[in-house]
């Protein structure tokens, strides 16, 4: 009995100590964080501050999950990029609109990357020229610019490794140049990269990741290291780098094991990471109906939800605890 009491006391002290390390600044993020009210197919999120409106905007791919009678993969085609907004630091999101992207680039829009540079917003958008029943069609990454994050001007179609490229991620290098990582589907869905001096003209550089195919790359800097996450359809692969060229694979996948929260009971996919006020938040999406307990209900299998979890850093590694409440209070960038 004495031994049990001592052990229990030590456990309690350790638990209290660990709990005290959790910063509860902000509000608890909704779970799920967001569901699209039009088609219920929100995926591939990217989050950015709207300087003009003083709100956070979330851009996302939308798929027509709730539309019946669509053959093959037609349901993942035929929609514009959706926009949700948050006025409370990212804890709660409301549907706003779709992006105003000019014709003829309105048929099918996927996986936006949105950044701000010197007062101009840049979008690198995966564009599919049509609505198709299968995957055997071209797709490009196009460059658009905006001053308000709603209305977009077409700038160019990027000349990259093939005519089947998607999922751009853009990051500024230490010297001021820019680097883009993307999925080259023509090379077994490998991650490639390209460089630019000015965000307008890009030079393809070849394959970035050699060990595994993947999509939806996300590169960010946090805790004095560069990190890359890729969606490998079994959770998220994690890499680290010292120079943004050589990438070391970290064992284990993020979000591979099912969570316990609402709409979070499956693998996570296609991430964004927002580093803000010293913290890092991982935004991702789930297909909550893709579990064995749900029969072949097409709507449930297709619908998707956006989630968020705070990343943690310990002993040189990053982790996340998706089953714990996420407190979030995104601050406007300086």
Q: Does residue 213 contact residue 166 with C-beta atoms inside 8 Å? A: no
The pLDDT tens digits of the residues spanning 251-286 come to 999 999 999 999 999 999 999 999 999 999 999 999
| 134-161 pLDDT, tens digit each | 999 999 999 999 999 999 999 999 999 9
Q: What is the pTM of this model?
A: 0.92
Which is nearest to 181 in space by CA: 162, 153, 209, 159?
A: 209
Would you say 150 and 100 are in contact if contact means Cβ atoms under 8 Å apart? yes
Structure tokens, 245: 């060229």
3-state helix, strand, coil in the chain (%, to 5): 10, 45, 45
Which residue, chain included where needed, has tokens 């198709």?
132
* pLDDT tens-digit series, residues 112-142: 999 999 999 999 999 999 999 999 999 999 9
Beta carbons of 308 and 281 less than 8 angstroms apart: yes
Q: Does domain 34-328 have CATH number 1.10.260.30?
A: no
């Amino acid at each position: 009995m004495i031994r049990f009491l001592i052990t229990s006391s030590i456990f309690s002290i350790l638990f209290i100590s660990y709990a005290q390390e959790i910063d509860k600044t902000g509000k608890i993020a909704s779970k799920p964080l967001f569901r699209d009210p039009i088609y219920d197919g929100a995926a591939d999120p990217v989050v950015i501050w709207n300087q003009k409106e003083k709100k956070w905007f979330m851009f996302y791919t939308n798929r027509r999950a709730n539309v019946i009678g669509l053959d093959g993969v037609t349901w993942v085609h035929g929609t514009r990029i959706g926009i949700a907004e948050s006025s409370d630091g990212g804890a709660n999101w409301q549907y706003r609109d779709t992006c105003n992207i000019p014709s003829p680039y309105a048929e099918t829009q996927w996986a936006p990357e949105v950044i701000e540079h010197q007062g101009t917003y840049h979008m690198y958008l995966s564009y599919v020229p049509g609505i198709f029943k299968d995957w055997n069609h071209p797709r490009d990454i196009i460059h658009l610019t905006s001053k308000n994050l709603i209305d977009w001007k077409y700038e160019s179609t990027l000349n990259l490794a093939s005519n089947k490229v998607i999922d751009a991620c853009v990051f500024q290098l230490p010297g001021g140049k820019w680097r883009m990582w993307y999925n080259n589907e023509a090379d077994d869905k490998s991650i490639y990269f390209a460089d630019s001096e000015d965000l307008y003209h890009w030079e393809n550089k070849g394959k970035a990741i050699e060990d595994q195919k993947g999509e939806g790359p996300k590169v960010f800097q946090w805790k004095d290291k560069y990190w890359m996450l890729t969606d490998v359809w079994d959770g998220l692969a994690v890499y680290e780098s010292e120079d943004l060229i050589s990438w070391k694979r970290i064992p284990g996948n993020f979000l591979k094991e099912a969570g316990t929260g609402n709409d979070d009971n499956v693998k996570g996919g296609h991430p964004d990471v927002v580093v803000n006020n010293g913290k890092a938040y991982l935004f991702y999406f789930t297909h909550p109906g893709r579990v064995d307990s749900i029969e072949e209900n097409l709507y449930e299998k297709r619908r998707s939800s956006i989630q968020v979890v705070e990343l943690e850093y310990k002993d040189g590694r990053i982790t996340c605890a998706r089953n714990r409440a996420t407190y979030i209070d995104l601050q406007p960038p300086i």
